[in-house]
Structure formats: structure tokens, C-alpha cells
Structure 1
Amino acid sequence: MYGWVLLFFDLCRFRKGPQDLPYSQALLLSSITAYAILGFLMLYIESGWFNAIMQVSVGALLLLAFAKIILLISRKPGRFVQTSSALFGTDALISFFAIPIIAGMTTGRVSMLSFAAMVALMIWNWLIIGHILRHALSETFSFGLGIAFLYIMASYWVMAQLFP
């Protein structure tokens, strides 16, 4: 387990790609579980337990569907388990770092430091997704960033429509 966490940290630092993760259903399930727990904790701070569960569930389905579709389009469906594991695991790590910032922001005192930290985490998350997609799709980093940007914007739009 500790080895997997280190691999996700290396992914977040752009030292490894999704191909460096083992092809493991157990790792995918563990990554989804970590994503769900940390995502729930992050969302619960602002929206309550039911809304947090619903948003985490929809977010997980969107991420799974996105990974499946983008890999099918690029004719690389065999990379689904590793790519999905990488996306869920790195998102869980970003959520882990975001929880204290969001908790501080919900007290009503939004400082420039907390705002800057959230923006930095959002940009870092975008870069990580782009990095993962670059490797998963065997494309350039700029292509991966473009696809990551489209995914992020589409998922924000879907979430805003479902949870106004």
C-alpha cells in the first residue's frame, strides 16, 4: 500500500507515468475508494453528507466514462485500468491537500494565501491529468493538457447542472 502511495506521489511530481503503475484491479479499487473517501470529506465540509455522496458518485462515474471513452477513441483500451488508477489516485492526493484549505475557507475568512493555494492545487491537478493523458494516449504534453482542460470544463459543467 505504501508503495502505491509513493507511485502516486511520483505521478504528481511528473516522475512516473500511468504505465509505471501495476495493472491491478485491486489498485484501481483502492484508488477509487481513496478518491471517494477524500472527495466525500472535502465536499462534506461545504454541502452536507447526501450531496457529498451524490457528487462523489457522479464524479467517479464521469472520470471512469471519460477514461474509457478517450482510450477507446485513441484505440488504447488496454490502458484503462492503469490510466483510471492514476487519475483516481492522484485526484485523491490533491483532495488530501485541499481539505485543510477548504476547511479554512469555509470559516468565512478567505485569505489571499488560501485562495492562492486553491488556485495552485487546481492548476497542479490540471497539469497532472495532462501528464497522465499524455502517457496514456502516447501524445504530446500540450495535447494531454488540452484534453485534460476539456474534461475538467465538461465535468464542472455537468456538476453545476446536477448540483446547482
Structure 2
Amino acid sequence: MNALLSRLFAICRLRLGPQDMPYAPTIASALVVTVLALEALLSQLLDVPDGLLLPRTLLSGLMLVGVPWLLLRLRARSGRLVQTLIALAGTSLLFTLALVPLLLIAAANPIDPAAPAPSSMLVSVAVLLLVVWKLMVNGHILRYALDWPPLAAALLALGLFMVELGLDQWLQGSGAA
């Protein structure tokens, strides 16, 4: 387990890629379930309406598992799915764990747009930096998984993030209606 954690941290530093992950379907499944459970728990802690919990979890699962499966299949690299899922889910778990305290602080101290407190601004900047870093890591993983140029993979990671964000906003609008 320490070797896997060390490799995941190396991926976060852009030193290793998904090809350096073990081919272990049980680890991939466990990481995916753990990430989705943590995101669901975090949603409840942040007072996301109960009616949105299942749709948001399904959306996260689709983006985490379904999209890489489809992309790898389209590129005739389906054999890379398990290692790609370990890399994506494992690094996502690390970033989510890093974001939890920041999101809880932000939820407890909402930002007043008229007079933002320095601590609120610091938390916002830290969250933004972690999100940008996560996008870079996802692009790095997709680059090696799909054999794409770095810029194309980075744009794909950004596009997938925007699609997930847009669908999440749409779900929130549907849930409010």
C-alpha cells in the first residue's frame, strides 16, 4: 500500500504516469468506491439537498469511470483502463482529502462579496490552486493513457471538468425546480 501511495504522490508531481500503476482491478474498484463515497459524504457535510446526492454521485461515477472507458475504447487502448482508473481515482482521492478542510472552512465562513475577509480570500486561492493542480494531473494521466500530446490532453481534462461542472449546475437547477 505504501508503494501505491508513493506512486500516486509521484503522479501528482507529474513524475510517473498511469502506466506505473499496478494492474489490480480490485484496487481500482476500491479506489473508485472510496472516492464516490467521500464525495457523497462531503456533499452531505456541505448541505447539498438529499435529492441531489444520488444524481451527483452517479454523475461523478460516470465522469470517473465511464468517460475514461469510452475514450480508451475509442483509442483502442482498453487494456489501460484499470491502471488509468487507479491513477485517476487515487489522485482524485488525494486531492479530495486535501480539499475537505478548505471546503469545510469555506462553508463555515461564507465570503461577503462587499468586504471579503483575508482568510476567506486565502481559502479561495488555495482551493483554486488545488483545482488547477488537479486539472494538470488529470491531463498528465490522460496524456499517457491515450497517447496524446500534452496540450491536447490538458485541454481534454479542462473540457471534461467544464462538462462535469455544467452538468452539476444543471442538476442543481433541476433539483431546485
TM-score by length of structure 2 reads: 0.85
Give the CA deviation at 1:109: 4.4
Q: CA offsets per residue over residues 34-69 of structure 1, 9 Å max, x none?
A: 212321232222234834454223201222111011
1:65 equivalenced with 2:66 (yes/no): yes
Runs of 4+ with >3 A deviation:
48-54
Distance 1:53 1:9 in 2: 30
- 2:108 is paired with a residue whose SS is coil
Query: How far apart are residue 74 of structure 1 and its match?
Result: 1.5
- State how far apart, in whole Å, the 1-side matches of 2:144 and 2:106 are: 35
Distance in structure 2 (CA, Å) of the matches to 1:118 and 1:41:
18
RMSD across aligned positions (CA):
1.6
Matched, 1:120 2:121: no
In the alignment of these two chains, the number of paired residues is: 164
Q: Which segment drifts farther, 41-50 or 146-155? A: 41-50
Quote the sequence identity (%).
26
Given that 1:18 and 1:132 are in contact with CA atoms closer than 8 Å, whether structure 2 keeps it comes out as: yes
Mind listing any 5+ residue stretches in structure 2 that lack a counterpart? Answer: 112-119
With normalisation by structure 1, the TM-score equals: 0.92
Gaps of 5+ in 1: none
CA–CA separation in structure 1 for the residues paired with 2:53 and 2:109: 20
Q: Give a deviation string over 1:112-132, Cα, whole Å, max 9, x none.
A: 110000000110110010000
Question: How far is 1:148 from its partner?
Answer: 0.5
Contact 2:36 2:60 in 1 (8 A): no
- Residue in 1 aligned with 2:57? 56
Q: Distance in 1 between matches of 2:7 and 2:165?
A: 27
Q: Whole-Å Cα distance in 2 between the matches of residues 155 and 112 of structure 1?
A: 25
